[in-house]
Chains A and B, each alone.
Chain A
Amino acid sequence: MRVAERVYRMVLGIYPKRFRANVGPELLAAFRQGLMDRESSQLFFLAKELADLLRNLPAEWWGRRPLMLRTQPYSVQSHQRPPRVFPPLVSDARIALRGFLRRPGFASAAILTFALGIGANTAVFALLHTILFDPLPFRDVDRLVLIEGNHMVGHASEGATMYPSMREWSGLDHAFDGISEFSSDVRFLLDGGDAPERVRGAFVSADYLDVLGVDPILGRGFLQEEEGLGSPDVVHISEGLWRSRFGADPGIIGYSISIAGEPQTVVGVLPDHFRFPLGSVIWIPMESGEATLRHLEAVGRLAPGVSLSQGIGSLRDAVESLGGRSERENIGAVSLRDWIFGGQKAPVFIFYTVVSLVLLVACLNVASLFLARNETRRHELAVRASLGASRPQLMREMVTESLLLATIGGGLGIAAGWFGRDVVLAALPNDIPPYFTFEIPASVFLTLAGIVLASGLFFGLVPALAARRADLQVMLAAGTRSLSAGKPRRRLWSSLVAMEIALALTVLICANLLVKSLVRQLGADKGFDASNLVTLEASPDFWGERVWEYYARVTEEVSAAPGFTEVGLGQWLDTGENFHWWSAYVEELGEVRDVRYQRCDPGYFDAMGIPLLAGRNFESHDRYDSPRVLMVNESFAERYWPGENPVGKRLGRGPAPPAEQNWHEVIALVADVHNAGYGRAAEPQIFLPYNQSGLSELQVLAQTTLDAPTALRSLRETIRSIDPQVPLAGLQTMQQAIRQANWQVPFATWAFGLLSIIALVLAATGVYGLVAFTVAQRSKDLAIRAAVGADSGGLQRMVVRESLILAAGGVLAGVVLAAIGMRLVVSLLFLVRPTDPAVYVISAVVMTTAVVLASYVPARRIVRLDPMTVLGRE
């Protein structure tokens, strides 16, 4: 909807200022309301209103005389339409349309090429670009930085000093326009309804919306007095939550909702694309901003002209002046964009390359089509020129014609891109990652329109300019259907098409390799068995003994339920990289090392299929009131205690000196899971018993012999029956959870698949056009051969054979191109060689098949050629 509005506003921008100043805002408001009133037909409304806007444009600019101020009474005659602004345009367009109908083959090939190559490709590109690179819905996002305590350096002194809220830090004013602290990944229990629900949220300082530059869609931001202890209980909720839980009630502002039994007043609803930080859907003002550097989380807006490093410098100075000289280096900042998209740069490079290649194929295709068009039209143009058509008139016609083709094709393509957006959304897992906006900015639309129009103009103008008058006369004199005519051009054309085939094949191979790599990565050994696992998150709202009793009953009852073999509990699911860190004090090093961790129950290892290699499992007596225990994985043991038996050793937590350490005994060694991402080498990890901490949100993991839907239903019902008040969430199979967490894989598969299909169809169109043209050009030649007794099947084979030779050349070049190209991006491929033979063979076979099919269709016309008719035409 906002896209539509922006497009409309943009077009309104070309109106005279006088008009815009007078009624512009009103007109926009009316448009906005019109859009809101038409939920189902917004696209139609936009199209209609845009057409209306454009139709009125010339009169508003050039019809300056007041249309109703008449010096003499109006007569019927004088009240005719104002003179047309571009009278010839309409008649030219009519001529062009008639031409298309006469030769539907050319017109449809050109439109398809424009639609696929320029429209759809660019639209897909724009969409993916938006999703991958520009999805941060914050104002002036490049000035936003994430400030965090850097816990990877200076372990020893860390966590010692408590710092006041950053608002009280001095000397930051000149570097930052604003700093807003937050505390992310907080779970809030929404109750007070039928189904209690745990949602993710954050505590934030009151000005966080100002700092990020986001406006609520309803209500207001937090006020300064709403922050801090004893302030009024107010809350922001997300648009999604507002819709799903509160039925999009417009009266929600001022309404009180219950969070863990406490009433909180809703003062604002935030747009759904704003889920900062970390997928939050609920925001509550902070009570205190006091924190150690390790726990500091803030987002800052750099003052204009201040660089990131200057910003970091002033943060460090502030830390130092607060007495944390030794912790000076422990604070840092990264640009918000890098923080969120840091890891995604690699496939993106391939993606850009592939898109550019497809565009190139499209351009070659359009060029070759118009080359052919020009060829066949020389005769016609010559005739018309000799009948008195002026050269500007002919040029205008040709330009009109190509503009028309470009507009229709490009329009179709952009429409396809627009609807493709919904396909993308549908193809994505439900759990769309935070921060993502799905709108195509108006600037992208204007760029698309520009590309389409420019290419139309170019391809129309170039042949028109080339068709000089002298040339026309020569053509007229010579006739066009001589055997030799157009031969050099056909060679040029053949090489254009061969290039198309080569480039399209490169795209195909590139896309195939990348997708294969992504799929392999997802399918790589995970270190556990996800195939028959179902999961559910149960998060009771009570603490201590009662929680442990509850979870004990959960494992007991689920194990007893038919169809479940192993049941375990874990704090989180291993759906890829484990980002949860624990500061282990390694006695032998005398230092702290951050290692990944998981909290779980004794059943976890069997449920996940992770073997215990030595030592004992957790037991029910490992409780909060018994000595602390933990397990380490193989990588941990190899890195810190190489060649030693880890069982019986001990680990501390945090940087305290040994005498004051809180020691944990290592009771077992377990096999590695791929905790640094599937297919990557495992890293050191520890496992802690969940009931030595105050956890009350655990994932239930159950191995099942049932089919997935039955198992999921049974799991939910079994757990629900234990205590209906406990909020349950995330009911899914482990495979689903993995797919959701790795949404980029289906997404990339979809995008690259689509791009390779576009490239394939474009190349096939190119071949089709060439063969059809050849057959038409050589009809006389072929007819003579048929007349002297060559059988049509043989002629057909001859034509197909020629295109096969073309295909062979193209395929060979494509394979070489891809092999060289993929060498450059070898580091981006995962578990796949850049010369994976299967990929190359399959891609080449697909491409050759497409070429043969594309040439066979027009070649069949030879069968229908009647020698007498063909020769009689001359």
Chain B
Amino acid sequence: MKPDQFLPLRPVEFQVLVSLSQGDRHGYAILQEIEERGEGRAVPGLATLYRAIVRLEKEALIIRSENGATSIEDERRRVYSISPLGKAVVAAEARRLAPLVEIVRGATT
């Protein structure tokens, strides 16, 4: 499937992909990263985040690795990483948004 077919991404999906494109993370770390990057703004709730993760995983944009998890208690050590397709999609979404951002910037400065 072509990356363009996934566009536009929902904001939370975009945020998860951006976060994972910087390195592998478990769910809560993704949230923390979004929180830091956005200085607390537009932070999704946990349920929203995990639903997005489930969707992205189903679409094979991200990959879950059990990373040696042996019990339920270890579940949170499940680590997600971005797939090559995911990388392509996040890049395509960024390309799609860039001109829009430019227009708004031009209008407000």
Contact residues of A with B, CB < 8 Å?
19, 22-23, 25-27, 29-31, 33-34, 48-49, 51-53, 55-56, 59-60, 66-70, 73-74, 76, 79
A66 to B60, CA, bound (A): 13
Closest 9 CB pairs of A and B: A52-B45, A29-B76, A30-B28, A25-B75, A53-B47, A56-B47, A23-B50, A52-B47, A26-B75
Please indicate the chain B residues that have their CB under 8 angstroms from the CB of A49 in the complex: 45-47
Contacts of A30 in B (CB 8 A): 27-28, 31, 46, 50, 76
| Minimum distance in angstroms from B36 CB to a CB of chain A | 12
Q: Complex formed: what's the CA distance from A26 to B67 in Å?
A: 14
In the bound complex, do residue B55 and residue A74 qualify as a contact, i.e. CB atoms below 8 Å apart?
A: no
Q: Could you pull out 10 A-B pairs where Cβ atoms are within 8 angstroms?
A: A23-B53, A29-B75, A34-B28, A52-B48, A53-B45, A56-B51, A66-B58, A68-B55, A68-B59, A73-B4
B residues in contact with A33, CB < 8 Å: 28, 76
> Closest residue to A73 on the B side, CB-wise?
B5
A74 to B2, CA, bound (A): 12
* Alpha-carbon separation in the docked complex, A68 to B5 (Å): 9
Residue of A nearest to B44 (CB): A52
A56-B5 in contact (CB<8A): no
CB-based contact A29/B28 at 8 Å: yes
Query: In the bound complex, what is the Cα–Cα distance between A49 and B49 (angstroms)?
Result: 11
Interface centre among A33, A49, A70 (most CB of B within 10 A): A33
| B residues less than 8 Å from A25 (CB atoms) | 72, 75-76
Inter-chain CA distance A501–B4, complex, in Å, is 70
Chain A, residue nearest B71 (CB): A25
Task: Kindly state the separation between the CA atoms of A465 and B31 in the bound complex, as whole angstroms.
Answer: 48
Contact-residue size bin, chain B (C-beta under 8 Å from the other chain): 20 to 34
Task: Compute how far the CA of A22 lies from the CA of B72 in the bound complex, rounded to whole angstroms.
Answer: 11
- By the criterion CB–CB under 8 Å, are A52 and B5 in contact? no
Q: Which residues of A contact B46 (CB under 8 A)?
A: 27, 30-31, 34, 49, 52-53
The complex places the Cα of A48 from the Cα of B51 at a distance, in Å, of 16
Q: How far apart are the CA atoms of A345 and B7 in the complex, in Å?
A: 66
Give B13-58 interface residues, CB cut-off 8 Å to A: 13, 26-28, 31, 44-48, 50-51, 53-55, 58
Q: How far is the CA of A25 from the CA of B54 in the complex (A)?
A: 14
Q: How far is the CA of A25 from the CA of B73 in the complex (A)?
A: 8
- B56 — nearest CB in chain A belongs to which residue? A68
Residues of A contacting B5 in the complex (Cβ-Cβ under 8 angstroms): 70, 73-74
Known: A26-B78, A33-B76, A49-B45; 8 extra A-B contacts, CB below 8 A, are A19-B54, A23-B27, A23-B54, A49-B46, A52-B45, A53-B46, A68-B13, A74-B7
Query: Once the chains bind, are B55 and A67 in contact (CB under 8 Å)?
Result: yes
Chain A residues closer than 8 Å to B50, beta-carbon distance:
23, 26-27, 30
* A67 to B31 CA separation, bound complex (whole angstroms): 22
Q: How far is the CB of B75 from chain A (nearest CB, A)?
A: 4
Q: Which residues of B contact A (CB under 8 A)?
A: 4-8, 13, 26-28, 31, 44-48, 50-51, 53-55, 58-59, 72, 75-76, 78
CB distance from A36 to the nearest CB of B (A): 10
**Could you tell me if B48 and A74 are in contact, using CB atoms closer than 8 angstroms?**
no
| Residues in A whose Cβ lies below 8 Å from that of B75 | 25-26, 29
> What is the distance, in angstroms, from A71's C-beta to the closest C-beta of chain B?
10
Task: Give the chain B neighbours of A29 by CB distance below 8 A.
Answer: 28, 75-76
User: Shortest distance in angstroms between B64's beta carbon and chain A's nearest beta carbon?
Assistant: 9
A51 to B6, CA, bound (A): 28
Q: Are B27 and A26 within 8 A (Cβ)?
A: yes
Cβ-defined contact, A34 with B8, below 8 A: no
For residue A69, which residues in chain B have a CB less than 8 angstroms away from its CB? Answer: 58-59
What chain B residues lie within 8 Å of A26 (beta carbons)? 26-27, 50, 75-76, 78
Q: Which B residues lie within 8 Å of A34 (CB)?
A: 28, 31, 46
Which of B8, B26, B51 has most A Cβ within 10 Å? B51
CA A67 – CA B28 in complex, angstroms?
A: 23
Q: Nearest-CB distance from B97 to chain A (Å)?
A: 13
Can you name the residue of chain B whose Cβ is closest to the Cβ of A32? B76
Q: Which residues of chain A are within 8 angstroms of B76 by Cβ–Cβ distance?
A: 25-26, 29-30, 33
Min CB distance B66 to A, Å, is 11
In the bound complex, what is the Cα–Cα distance between A570 and B88 (angstroms)? 81
| Nearest opposing residue in chain B for A37, CB measure | B32
- Alpha-carbon distance A19/B7, docked complex (angstroms): 24
Closest to A56 in B: B47
The interface centre, meaning the residue of A19, A31, A68 with most chain B CB atoms within 10 A of its CB, is A68
Residues of A within 8 A of B72 (CB): 25
Q: Give, as a whole number of angstroms, the nearest-CB distance from B58 to chain A.
A: 6
Q: Which residues of A contact B45 (CB under 8 A)?
A: 48-49, 51-53, 55-56
Contacts of A55 in B (CB 8 A): 45, 47-48
B30: min CB distance to chain A, Å? 9
Partner of B55, one of A31, A51, A53, A66: A66
Question: Which residues of chain A come closer than 8 Å to B47, judged between CB atoms?
Answer: 27, 49, 52-53, 55-56
In the complex, A60 Cα to B47 Cα: how many Å? 10
| A contact residues around B51 at 8 Å (CB) | 19, 56, 59-60
User: Which among B8, B46, B53 has the highest number of chain A CB atoms within 10 Å?
Assistant: B46
CB distance from A34 to the nearest CB of B (A): 7
- How far is it, in angstroms, between the C-alpha of A51 and the C-alpha of B31 when the chains are bound? 17
